[in-house]
A and B are shown apart, each in its own frame.
Chain A
Amino acid sequence: MSTSTQSPVRVAEDPRGPIRPQRRLPRYAALGLYLAGIALGAALSALTGFSIALTVIYGVILGTLAVYVGARAVEGRRKATDRLVTALVTTAFAIAMVPLVSLVYTVLDKGLARFDAQFFTNSMFRVVGEGGGAYHAILGTVIITAVTAVISVPIGLLTAIYLVEYGSGRLKRAITFFVDVMTGIPSIVAGLFAFALFTLLFGNDVRLGLMGAAALSVLMIPVVVRSCEEVLKLVPNELREASYALGVPKWRTIVKVVLPTAIAGLGTGITLAVARVIGETAPLLITVGLITGTNLNPFDGRMATLPVFAYYQLTQPGTATQAFLDRAWTAALVLIILVMVLNVVARLISRLFAPKTGR
């Protein structure tokens, strides 16, 4: 809460006389007032039967008020408003941290119960109670995500190249606009699209890993296009000109100069796009379904995937309820770990492969 970073403003000689030294709250007074408010909140909450949530709520409100009133008395209205906003804005950030911390803690707490070797080496084939694992689902997720990437990356990258290097006029504007719009398609609608498409092609009741990949591609392609486009725009035009001036055709210039220069950003963007779709559940639920055994062929029949596995373990527990719940939470934990690893990898890529510029 301490906002004592402003230095006193120096102004030129003023006809109204010399600048009076500002009346300011001492550096730790604001913090002290805030803590006093929180203590009061704790007391208030103790009156109605102590609870942590109420303590925090009362405390933050009273602490903010205390700072405002204190500042108002010493520093005046404008300064007090400034401090009030500072407190509010900081509180907003703190509020956002609550679900993040709580979520990560909960998933770790509940997910570690089955975070064992068996979980990673066994499928659910003929498992009705305890034991079993998500081996089949993890492999399914990896395979379907890989197929999705194989479909999405070339299309997305080529489209980004078109937009940056070739595109002009109406078509470029239309593609840019609709790619943006596509980033907002609900994932369940993407799933319905893949379902409708494959139903028309192969008849009813078809369920394939490929269907899931098609649905995820609808979600991933626009993300790839946007991030690759941003990165390609950053490649200096001078490099393209240098290449043209050496008598290199445009397409070779793009493939051998532009793309290598942008490779770090492209890798980062594509990795983040993968992270975005790897946790998608809804489209897979209606296109790929779930099986208990291991199916590694995305062109034949249902497959298990980690998010769908987690969902069914949680919502349709069998007789040994706790075993199902444990597996569900461990699956959620593995999913979060996968996403976080991809995020870290993305950052590493941008750090390691960035071209060394000496300028």
Chain B
Amino acid sequence: MTATKAPTEPPSTPRVVRRAGDRIFAGSAKGSGIFILLVLAGVAAFLISEAIPALTAPAEDIPGGEGLASYIAPLILGTLLGAVLALLVATPLAVGIALFVTYYAPRRIAAGLGYVIDLLAAIPSVVYGFWGLAVLAPALVPFHVWAEDNLGWIPLFAGPASTSGRTMFTVGLVLAVMILPIISAIAREVFSQAPALHREAALALGATRWEMIKMAVLPYGKSGVIAGAMLGLGRALGETMAVAIVLSGGAGATLNLISSSNPSTIASNIALRFPEATGLGINTLIASGLVLFVITLGVNMLARWIVNRRADFSGAN
């Protein structure tokens, strides 16, 4: 009886007797999972099928009269402009907030502070729109004037400065506030998971708190922050109501952040035009929605891929 002897014949898996209840329950659980995959496929399929008329229509029938590409292009520009601005503002802030909550705030209130930040995520986007329009936009008008005077040589701040503050710049800040909790939630999670062993090793070497964070926490949390930023980017790209309410858009392609003529974004354009759209107009809007879907899908898949890759490497925790 040698211990490592391989079985002489491939062992047959015994037929598993399963009860009707088990079969039904397992089947419906599995069915639900498959249904979700079908829904996602359905989202793509139905969008494509309703977008086809716009894809095949002659250019002059598309609203604007210059074809689908030149209809959507400025919208894509506006979408990216607002989202990237939001990302640039929100990411450093979110990292700071996450560090504050995980390593700087007094232990007793840290959890409560984290919850307060999460509240930012709970506020409906339409309310952000209200606030952006009524509070933030007027408050930023002086900054717009200042930026035109002092930063006017940068194309982004070429002006003329908007007198209402309903600009891409304001939109970027509103979006930044909205994605702040998303990025900081993920950053908080990865920062708090930084191995205690490394942190204590750093402190034992006489490092200050910041040196400890630089040595042991930030390298560990880097990919998590990147993934969180990507998720925030996805959210900012698709945000609809806040942009629709705050931005006075629809003025073609421009990089100017502070003037009163701004490109619209895909999502807000749909929300503003859809209720009155008919016929090919609807198909055109759905085609633009398809573009948005593809962009956000790409961004989110990339983000999830980064997160999952990180999870594979941190198996030791």
Contacts and interface: CB of A to CB of B under 8 A. Distances in A.
B211 A78 contact: yes
A182 B36 contact: yes
A282 B285 CA distance: 14
Contacts of A357: none
B36 A336 contact: no
B134 A110 contact: yes
Nearest to A81: B210
A328 B33 CA distance: 40
Interface stretch (B69-77, B97-105, B159-167, B253-261): B97-105
Interface string A161-188: 1110111000110110111111111111
Contacts of B50: 192, 195-196, 199-200
Contacts of B42: 193, 197
B47 A102 contact: no
Contact of B126 (A95, A100, A279): A279
B271 A339 contact: no
B22 interface: yes
A320 interface: no
Contact of B36 (A78, A155, A188, A280): A155
A178 B124 contact: no
Interface stretch (A61-69, A130-138, A309-317): A309-317
A310 B32 contact: no
Contacts of B125: 187, 279-282
Contacts of A183: 300
B130 A314 contact: yes
Nearest to A167: B33
A222 B231 CA distance: 15
B201 interface: no
B87 interface: no
Interface stretch (B5-13, B23-31, B55-63, B147-155): B23-31
Interface string A329-354: 10010011001100100000000000
Contacts, number: 277
A279 B127 contact: yes
A140 interface: no
Contacts of A95: 93
Interface in A217-255: 218, 221-222, 225, 249-252, 254-255
Contacts of A118: none
24 contacts: A78-B208, A88-B96, A92-B95, A96-B177, A100-B116, A103-B131, A161-B29, A175-B34, A177-B304, A186-B237, A186-B296, A196-B50, A200-B46, A251-B19, A251-B25, A254-B25, A279-B124, A289-B275, A307-B241, A311-B241, A314-B130, A332-B126, A332-B127, A339-B123
Interface of B: 19, 21-22, 24-26, 28-37, 39-40, 42-43, 46-47, 49-50, 92-93, 95-97, 99-101, 104-105, 113, 116-117, 119-120, 122-131, 133-136, 139, 177, 180, 184, 206, 208-211, 213, 231, 234-235, 237-241, 244-245, 267, 270-271, 274-275, 285-286, 289, 292-293, 296-297, 299-301, 303-304, 307-308
Given A184-B296, A200-B49, A279-B126, 6 more contacts: A100-B116, A181-B297, A200-B46, A251-B25, A285-B271, A339-B122
